[in-house]
Amino acid sequence: MGKNRYSSETKWAVVKDKLSGQFTTKEIMEKYGVKNSTQIKTWMKWYRENELHRVDQPIGKQYSYGHGPESASEEEKKERQHSHLKMENEILKKYVEMVEELKKE
């Protein structure tokens, strides 16, 4: 039985769904084919601790100093950060919508 590999897109989608609060961990596991709930907890921990560079690292390549391989250009790093901020903005908008909806009730 080998290690499961998940794309960074899948990892970000899992984090986004988990933060939205609309899905349970079990539903997210089924939706994205994640085999173990501990994996989701790890990705969430990375997100909470602002270790966003770890999401894009391949298995066994946990870079500690440069936060990623040297082959990642500044443009790639900026694009990754931009994508993350867009996702965070979407989550915050959804949260505000939910708060407004609860106030109406």
Question: What is residue 94's three-state secondary structure?
Answer: helix
Per-residue model confidence (pLDDT) at position 80 = 75
Per-residue model confidence (pLDDT) at position 70 = 54
Does 30 score more than 90 pLDDT?
Answer: yes
Q: Which two tokens stand for residue 2?
A: 């080998």
The dihedral over CA atoms of 11, 14, 19, 23, expressed in degrees to the nearest 10, equals: -170
User: Residue for token digits 């900026």?
Assistant: 78
Q: Which two tokens stand for residue 54?
A: 């770890």
Q: Where are the domains of the chain?
A: 8-104
Q: What is the pLDDT of residues 35-81, one digit of tens each?
A: 989 999 999 998 888 887 777 776 666 555 555 555 567 787 778 77
What is the rounded distance in angstroms from the CA atom of residue 71 to the CA atom of residue 7?
18
Per-residue model confidence (pLDDT) at position 75 = 80
